[in-house]
Chain A
Amino acid sequence: KQEVTQIPAALSVPEGENLVLNCSFTDSAIYNLQWFRQDPGKGLTSLLLIQSSQREQTSGRLNASLDKSSGRSTLYIAASQPGDSATYLCAVRWGNKLVFGAGTILRVKS
């Protein structure tokens, strides 16, 4: 069964810290992997998309890596800010569908 797991479920850090969110998946035959941000009561905002042939993608303070063989991805957030507080979702594309993890709830304290 194709599943996505995110660890930790929740994370609280002081402002300015660098942090890593983890995502693991069960089947390495993926098309791509996408990281999203979701604010309370809102839809999903796409942060980064990594194709299966790529190892990493960067956007501003965000860097996402992909290791297909081990079934893992990490989202690195540098110099965290209170505005980064949200739920971060990892989603893997297998065939026609995205399969999501349950998310990591991030709180950055000022």
Chain B
Amino acid sequence: GAGVSQTPSNKVTEKGKYVELRCDPISGHTALYWYRQSLGQGPEFLIYFQGTGAADDSGLPNDRFFAVRPEGSVSTLKIQRTERGDSAVYLCASSAAGLRDEQFFGPGTRLTVL
């Protein structure tokens, strides 16, 4: 596709459940990023992939959060034992390769934990 896509667009789950959020980056982009945005705030960095490997996961809040990118394209953000505080919009971005490249964002997944 022409841009970054994310599925689902909305996810409602119950406290304690497991969720997976998917990101399809722009074709050919080797760098992929996950961010989390709470209401009224700017996005906060979670994790950065260069190819298949997580180059920087320093933004993951705790070990309930995990992300993979097994083939260097699609990425999945996984959240175990969800808590109400995990409710936010999860944004994915991709860039061509290097640290100086422009990042392009997807529409986000709005996660609501009841």
| Known contacts A43-B108, A96-B55, A96-B56; A102 and B102 CB within 8 A of each other | no
B52 beta carbon closer than 8 Å to chain A: no
Contact partner of A44 (CB less than 8 A), chosen from B43, B44, B58, B59, is B43
Asked if B105 and A49 sit within 8 Å, CB to CB, the answer is no
Which of B's residues lie within 8 Å of A, judged by CB?
4, 33, 35, 40-45, 48, 55-56, 58-59, 91, 93, 99-100, 102-108
Within 8 A of B (CB), among A65-110: 89, 91, 93, 95-103
The distance from the CB of A57 to the nearest CB of chain B, in whole angstroms, is: 11
Contact partner of B102 (CB less than 8 A), chosen from A49, A89, A95, is A49
Known: A43-B105, A96-B99. 16 other contacts (CB 8 A): A31-B99, A42-B108, A43-B91, A44-B105, A49-B102, A89-B42, A91-B43, A93-B99, A93-B100, A95-B56, A96-B55, A96-B56, A98-B93, A98-B103, A100-B43, A102-B41
Number of A-B contacts (CB under 8 A): 60
**Measured CA separation A95–B59 after assembly (Å):** 13
**Measured CA separation A93–B103 after assembly (Å):** 10
Query: Inside 8 A of A95's CB, which chain B residues have their CB?
Result: 56, 99
Question: Which residue of chain A has the shortest Cβ distance to B41 in the bound complex?
Answer: A102
- For this complex, 21 residue pairs linking A to B, each with C-beta atoms less than 8 Å apart, are A31-B99, A32-B100, A34-B103, A36-B105, A42-B108, A43-B4, A43-B108, A44-B43, A44-B91, A46-B103, A46-B105, A91-B42, A93-B99, A93-B100, A95-B56, A96-B56, A97-B33, A97-B45, A97-B58, A101-B42, A102-B40
SS class, residues of chain A in contact with chain B? strand
Asked if B102 and A34 sit within 8 Å, CB to CB, the answer is yes
The distance from the CB of B53 to the nearest CB of chain A, in whole angstroms, is: 12
The distance from the CB of B97 to the nearest CB of chain A, in whole angstroms, is: 13
A51 beta carbon closer than 8 Å to chain B: yes
